[in-house]
């Protein structure tokens, strides 16, 4: 979540934002070069990357942004929303740091088993979730060592 991006913005690959506004309706001349900067959703010039842009580029972006139509649903996140988002993201990282060694161990075991018997299809195991102590399933495919799994209480759910 960026303090300079509308809370409803969900990426350029979508046709509508989370407030139901069609991006084409609020982007001036969407087919023309520079239209990415003509969305009202993002306030350009605040990201760390903008320091690396030349003054000419910055001036170009600013000129394009001034052409962006007004959007009635535009709303920047509040300081509280940004803090909550950051807390959730860091909690997510902490959870995954606990899971990663367990997945790695399961993969190492499948690798060992496959070294002794090429017909081993992989491994399915149920272990204790490192976050909630509930049941966590881990599957590792023998042919490519990709894993998937989930915690019964929702701490994790992944598929690679």
Q: Which stretch of DSSP H or E encloses residue 136? A: strand 135-141
Helix, strand, or coil here: 102?
A: helix
Q: If 0-12 CB within 10 Å is exposed, 13-18 middle and 19+ buried, where does residue 94 land?
A: exposed
Under rule CB under 5 A, which residues in 94-133 are in contact with Zn ion?
Answer: 129, 131-132
Least separation in angstroms between CB 153 and Zn ion: 5
Asked if residue 153 binds Zn ion (CB under 5 A), the reply is: yes
Q: Choose between 7 and 102: whose C-beta lies nearer to Zn ion.
A: 102
Asked if residue 17 binds Zn ion (CB under 5 A), the reply is: no
Choosing from 50, 134, 135, 158, the residue that interacts with Zn ion (CB under 5 A) is: 134
Q: Choose between 21 and 129: whose C-beta lies nearer to Zn ion.
A: 129
List the structure tokens of 74: 């535009």
CA–CA separation, 55 and 59 (whole Å): 6
Least separation in angstroms between CB 76 and Zn ion: 34
């Amino acid at each position: 979540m960026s303090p300079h991006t509308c809370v409803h913005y969900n990426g350029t690959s979508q046709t509508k934002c989370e407030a139901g506004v069609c991006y084409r309706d609020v982007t001036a001349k969407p087919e023309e070069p520079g239209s990415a900067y003509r969305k009202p959703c993002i306030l350009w010039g605040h990201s760390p990357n903008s320091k690396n842009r030349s003054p000419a580029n910055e001036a170009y972006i600013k000129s394009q942004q001034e052409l962006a139509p007004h959007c009635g649903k535009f709303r920047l996140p509040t300081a509280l929303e940004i803090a909550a988002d950051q807390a959730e993201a860091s909690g997510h990282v902490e959870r995954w740091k606990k899971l990663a060694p367990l997945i790695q161990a399961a993969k190492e075991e499948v690798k060992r088993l496959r070294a002794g018997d090429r017909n081993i299809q992989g491994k399915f195991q149920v272990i204790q979730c490192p976050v909630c102590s509930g049941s966590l399933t881990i599957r590792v495919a023998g042919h490519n060592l990709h894993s998937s799994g989930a915690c019964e209480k929702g701490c994790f759910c992944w598929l690679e």
